[in-house]
Structure 1
Amino acid sequence: METTNRLIHEKSPYLLQHSHNPVDWYPWGDAAFSRAKSENKPVFLSVGYATCHWCHVMEKESFENPEAARALNDAFICIKVDREERPDIDAVYMAACQLLTGRGGWPLTALLTPDKEPFFAATYMPLHSRFGQPGILDLCAQITTLWQEDLMDQGQKILNAVSEIKGHLLRSFEYRPSLSLDESLLGAADTEITRRFDSRFGGFEPAPKFPSPHRLLFLLQRHEQGRSPEALNMVETTLSSMRAGGIWDHVGFGFHRYSTDTQWLLPHFEKMLYDQALLALAFLETYRITRKVFYARTAEEIFAYVLRDMTSEAGAFFTAEDADSEGEEGRFYVWPFDEFRRLLAPFPAHWETLLNASAEGNFHDEATGRKSGTNILHTGVPLFEWAPRLHVPEADLIKEWEDIRSRLFAVRSLRVHPLKDDKVLTDWNGLMIAALATGARILENPVYARVAARAADFILTNLRTADGRLFHRYREGQAGVPAFADDYAWMIFGLLSLHRADGNPRWLARAIGFQGILDADYRDREQGGYFMNLDPNDLPVRPKALYDGAMPSANSVSLVNLTCLYDLTGDKQWMDQAVHLAVSFFDTVKTQPSAHTFFLTGLSAVLQKGNLF
């Protein structure tokens, strides 16, 4: 008989995925921690997101397993969190995981005291211990012994560990203001990025390889300022390699989340809204600088994917599409060679070579390296480079490819589609609004501005409180979760981009209003910058993000926003605030400049007196 737990009442698709687990899950809240205190049990916290492949693996192995569920229920009070719905919870306990293990990722697993203090953390955990990695069953047994039977002996050790971890956590969210600003960080970031650049395939790290489009935007800014002679080459190499690789969906458009190899071939197949928006911005800005149609066309194809598959009937943008379908990662996207050859029978034979399809296949299991016999279609280099090699006019090759792509797309559409995470997030929508508005301006296409305006109106109508503040999440007609600093920062970014695209003063007025709320509710008046969350007492520490990861931080975006507000209004208060924000984090960014490139984009604008790319 199917079980049902408390998650059945939640709106998050990720939590609903776990609502029939035999694990007695709670959502994050007072009820779970009150029970933990009354029963004197530790808390098992599991954080993930709906389109995460390894989250699915851990659910199948452990959370759907009756034996593991009994062990978890006996040893812990169990809490599930959607990291996209509660990024503040994720930020705090991911910081703990990185402090304890030196690495992070999802699913995130943490053990907490009933007072929310972490004392153990890990990422994916197998059911049984293996290769020195603890398994769920052994963890439950060990913690039961430690927490209950040896509590008198071990309790003080746990408390000491908790105290030490909390001290490290507090320091990890502390930033000491600088006494001055200068351009040294910009040059240091240039040097660091250039040193890490892969001159063959592009990108800036070994596998796994993430797109990091905010680094590309920083490099474009440096190129335009004449400060980095290699910047444009690094951007073009990276964008063209990604666009020709398997990380790009050649049949249906859009970028997958990241590549597991150095040449951008084998991706993790989930598609995230923020990646589409940030990469569209990178392709658009590169087109503006180079006027190469390839970049404009790619941005248009990203928008085509988002408008087709990631947009609600009301005009808002969904969050993500899953990597898995029918229980297998990538199944929707890969091609058995026999099917591929049959579909391409009417076309020249060179397409097998051009699309890198073979009987052996190029899609292999990430863990074992075993070939699957299926193919990730990719061109290796852009089509315009193939045309002279094949002695075919570029226009003819592109037309031929579009005929093939349409045929493949029609057949693929009949497959079981990956799950779509259809919640609407304010911050991610603000970023997509900015990308579309920028597309309208650079490509001179007013359709994109209208689409962006419709999404902005949806957020302004459906995700606001009675006093004008924002909510973070909307799904099935219901807004919820008080906004985070990121929601304000990215909505301001989107509204300012819309104002620049269509000149409508209401977007600027709304952006200024939201900046006022961000300053009133989230600003750290002692050390500067913006806290992530509204409630200072909900977590062991109040997080303040600066690192520019998959998405730039709220503080980095705010630095860009404040310089834009100064640029658009000429009001000196915005530049004064920008300088204060830059000073707050300048010394911290010195430790690793290339990890804060969107912040550096804003810093460069501050130093240039408000002139952005």
Structure 2
Amino acid sequence: MIKRLTIILVLLTITYGCTQKSNKVTHRHTNALVNETSPYLLQHAHNPVNWEAWNPDVLARAKKEDKPLLISIGYAACHWCHVMEEECFEDEEVAQMMNENFINIKIDREERPDVDQIYMDAIQIISGNGGWPLNIVALPDGRPFWGATYVPKDNWIKSLKQLKDLYKNDKSKVVQYASDLANGINAINLVENKSDSSNYTLDQLDTAVENWSQYFDTFLGGYKRAPKFMMPNNWGFLLHYATVNSRPEIMEYVNTTLTRMAYGGIFDHVGGGFSRYAVDTKWHVPHFEKMLYDNGQLTSLYAEAYAVTKNELYKKVVEETIGFVKEELMDENGGFYSSLDADSLNENGELEEGAYYVWTKEELSALLGSDFKIFKDYYSINSYGFWEKENYVLIRDKSDEEIAEKYGIATLELKLKMNNALSILKKRREKRSRPRLDDKILTSWNGLMLKGLVDAYRYLNNKEYLDLALKNAMFIEKEIIKNDHSLFRNHKDGKSSINAFLEDYATIIEAYLALYEVTFDEKWLNLSKKLLDYTKSHFFDKKSGIFFFTSDKDDSLIRRSIETNDNVISASNSIMAKNLLKFHKLFPNEGYENLSNQMLKNVQENFDKSAQGFANWLHLVLYKNQNFYEIAIVGDNYKELGKEISSNYLPNSILAGAKEEGSIDLLQNRYDKNQTLVYLCIEGSCKLPVTSTEQALKQLGR
């Protein structure tokens, strides 16, 4: 247990109440952030605070001047970051206190997750909770000794004065506390190399899922709590588990969750796409920011669920989510932007959360005329859909069939009426002030969206999605991949400046491999493999048997982090472990399987009590305990057969194909000029070839 330095350090770690941000902009001041490309950092470029971006030179100057670092971390779509900016960082009095006594560093957490991880762990140790904006005061070498999230002006000034005095008058105790805290930050990130562990069994997995299921909200979906986050890796694993193990009760829960999320206000019924999370239990009122990473992962999830169920609602969600991303987040060169802000200008010209998305009953009635009556029922313009200040957030609570029966009309007619109504609302909404766009391009988030597009093409058979995927894949190849097959983390205005992290490699490797499976273009397979091998060389830690989050080419921080817990985005190591297992199936002599097995053993002790926090890892338990198939397709008709087979949900498989013979061993000596053959193999040992999708699926037990 880390001892507290003083009561002050505990009392100062507080999260305070809320306020609204006005649209106040001043350019009386300009700081070093004006040279950055991150929209979040540029938002602070005209604060009177002498902000600087994180870099080794700034830390060296802090040591030379013997000033503590004041590190403030946030992101462009963060509502409370905007609030604190107005109240504190735009204030002259606050700026004077900060500039005279601290070296002030602003960090975009989306650009620098490596730094954010460390200081988020620090504040969790100090206070037991965290969030953004994340404000840390640290020694000049980066070791933290105080932290808080949102703090209003008076408390902020008071806190900084006490911290300044403490550093000046009792520095030895501050240093001791920072040293103890740094030890704690490192201790909670250790991973033990467990070479003597046995493999996690299916019986153990069943027990873990049973324990996990105690938290299921089987009526409203998700978990029995608020706020509710969409957890694509959680529902994605449970879809896999329910399907391959014939667990109808788990499948029903997944369907309930996906349906309620699609019905909820968290899904933008007017413009498509999902917001970040819901503040309530019924998925109704979102935190209105829209993030690329959510929409990429949810595109994959709903496409897979559609493949299993053929539920038209899931198909509609995929189509409208991709429509939103294409319209709002796609760069002309094929990259995808990061997010839309939660805040936008209301009718009074003030920034207000959700102003772009909400409706009053009077406005809806005036716009929709005679169709308002049925629309009101369909989208709950009643107590169920009411939010605040006379505003409603559209939310469904009944199926099309229920509403159509109530009003005595055909389901098709109902859908046409609702589509027409939503079209009217979209045209009206486009006249409102739009949410601010974070137009930086992040590699890992693009990887998630690329995988989403590939899955959408695979399961919905829409050629447009493959075209979008290829455009994005070529953008990444041109702008993000360096000559040595290392990656950049970021891209904006033609510039890339930050070395990529493990999550960037993991998601691009996964996406390129998926792209190969639907195109059989070995270019994407080879690129993916080169990225994988680069990652092995520069990120793998032989001591722990797992990958670091940062490359050995990056500047040192107070900790070289290891990411294992799956959160709203799967842990970079869990994605890598799956990548390694799949690459082993195509390149069995490279040692990839041994790495994947070891990584799984190193984390599996957590599965019993926290399956939901390791959901993406759990796919590997199914892969390793059940048959995993290499499906090889060779012959003139290889692309058509591959397309047919891959449109089925086959999670325990990987596809390879070529007209004659591809470069990988699995495709060698299998060509027959008279027919296209499908080989179903396990570890290179194959069943007798077949010539049709139906025969192949029969061999798979489908």
Considering the TM-score relative to the shorter chain, is it more than 0.5? Answer: yes
CA contact (8 A) 1:491 1:511 kept: yes
- Work out the percentage of aligned pairs sharing the same amino acid: 34
TM-score normalised by L of structure 1: 0.94
**What SS does the corresponding residue of 1:372 show, helix, strand or coil?**
coil
CA contact (8 A) 2:499 2:554 kept: no
In 2, the alpha carbon distance for the partners of 1:449 and 1:124 equals 43
State yes or no: 1:531 paired with 2:544: no
State yes or no: 1:219 paired with 2:238: yes
State yes or no: 1:43 paired with 2:61: no
Match of 2:331 in 1: 312
State yes or no: 1:115 paired with 2:141: yes
State yes or no: 1:278 paired with 2:297: yes
How far apart are 1:384 and its partner, in Å? 4.3
Q: 1:360 to 1:582 in 2, by over 3 A?
A: closer
Match of 2:603 in 1: 585
Match of 2:695 in 1: none
How far apart are 1:557 and its partner, in Å? 0.5
Letter in 1 for 2:277: Y
Q: Which runs of 5+ in 2 are unaligned?
A: 1-26, 346-350, 630-650, 653-702
Letter in 2 for 1:78: N
**What SS does the corresponding residue of 2:252 show, helix, strand or coil?**
helix
Q: 2:453 aligns with which of 418, 423, 436?
A: 436
**What SS does the corresponding residue of 1:480 show, helix, strand or coil?**
coil
State yes or no: 1:557 paired with 2:583: no
In 2, the alpha carbon distance for the partners of 1:258 and 1:230 equals 25
**What SS does the corresponding residue of 1:458 show, helix, strand or coil?**
helix
CA contact (8 A) 1:278 1:431 kept: yes
Q: 1:389 to 1:186 in 2, by over 3 A?
A: farther
TM-score normalised by L of structure 2: 0.82
How far apart are 1:578 and its partner, in Å? 1.4
From the CA coordinates, give the structure whose radius of gyration is larger.
2
Letter in 2 for 1:462: E
Q: How much is the aligned-residue C-alpha RMSD, in angstroms?
A: 1.8
State yes or no: 1:471 paired with 2:488: yes
Match of 1:131 in 2: none
Q: 2:191 aligns with which of 175, 178, 196?
A: 175
**What SS does the corresponding residue of 1:468 show, helix, strand or coil?**
coil
Q: 1:385 to 1:601 in 2, by over 3 A?
A: farther
CA offsets 1:548-584 (integer angstroms, 9 cap, x no match): 1111111010112122223445557332221122122
Q: 2:255 aligns with which of 211, 230, 236?
A: 236
How far apart are 1:224 and its partner, in Å? 1.5
Match of 1:545 in 2: 563
Letter in 2 for 1:241: R
Q: 1:12 aligns with which of 11, 28, 38?
A: 38
CA contact (8 A) 1:523 1:529 kept: yes
In 2, the alpha carbon distance for the partners of 1:169 and 1:359 equals 47
CA contact (8 A) 2:208 2:607 kept: no
Letter in 2 for 1:381: K
In 2, the alpha carbon distance for the partners of 1:571 and 1:386 equals 58
In 1, the alpha carbon distance for the partners of 2:123 and 2:399 equals 40
CA offsets 1:130-151 (integer angstroms, 9 cap, x no match): xxxxx21111111121112x2x
CA contact (8 A) 1:383 1:398 kept: yes
**What SS does the corresponding residue of 2:153 show, helix, strand or coil?**
coil
Match of 1:448 in 2: 465
Q: 1:381 to 1:558 in 2, by over 3 A?
A: farther
Match of 2:131 in 1: 105
Q: 1:584 to 1:140 in 2, by over 3 A?
A: same
State yes or no: 1:386 paired with 2:403: yes
How far apart are 1:480 and its partner, in Å? 1.6
Match of 1:289 in 2: 308
Letter in 2 for 1:455: N
Match of 1:132 in 2: none
**What SS does the corresponding residue of 1:81 show, helix, strand or coil?**
strand
**What SS does the corresponding residue of 1:44 show, helix, strand or coil?**
strand
Q: 2:97 aligns with which of 71, 94, 107?
A: 71
CA contact (8 A) 1:188 1:593 kept: no
Q: 2:179 aligns with which of 137, 148, 163?
A: 163
In 2, the alpha carbon distance for the partners of 1:8 and 1:537 equals 23
CA contact (8 A) 1:272 1:320 kept: yes
**What SS does the corresponding residue of 1:225 show, helix, strand or coil?**
helix
Match of 1:345 in 2: 369
In 2, the alpha carbon distance for the partners of 1:553 and 1:32 equals 30
CA contact (8 A) 2:378 2:398 kept: no
Aligned length: 596
How far apart are 1:603 and its partner, in Å? 3.3
CA offsets 1:450-476 (integer angstroms, 9 cap, x no match): 211110110111112232311110000
How far apart are 1:414 and its partner, in Å? 1.2
Letter in 2 for 1:89: V
In 1, the alpha carbon distance for the partners of 2:577 and 2:190 equals 18
Q: 1:208 aligns with which of 223, 227, 234?
A: 227
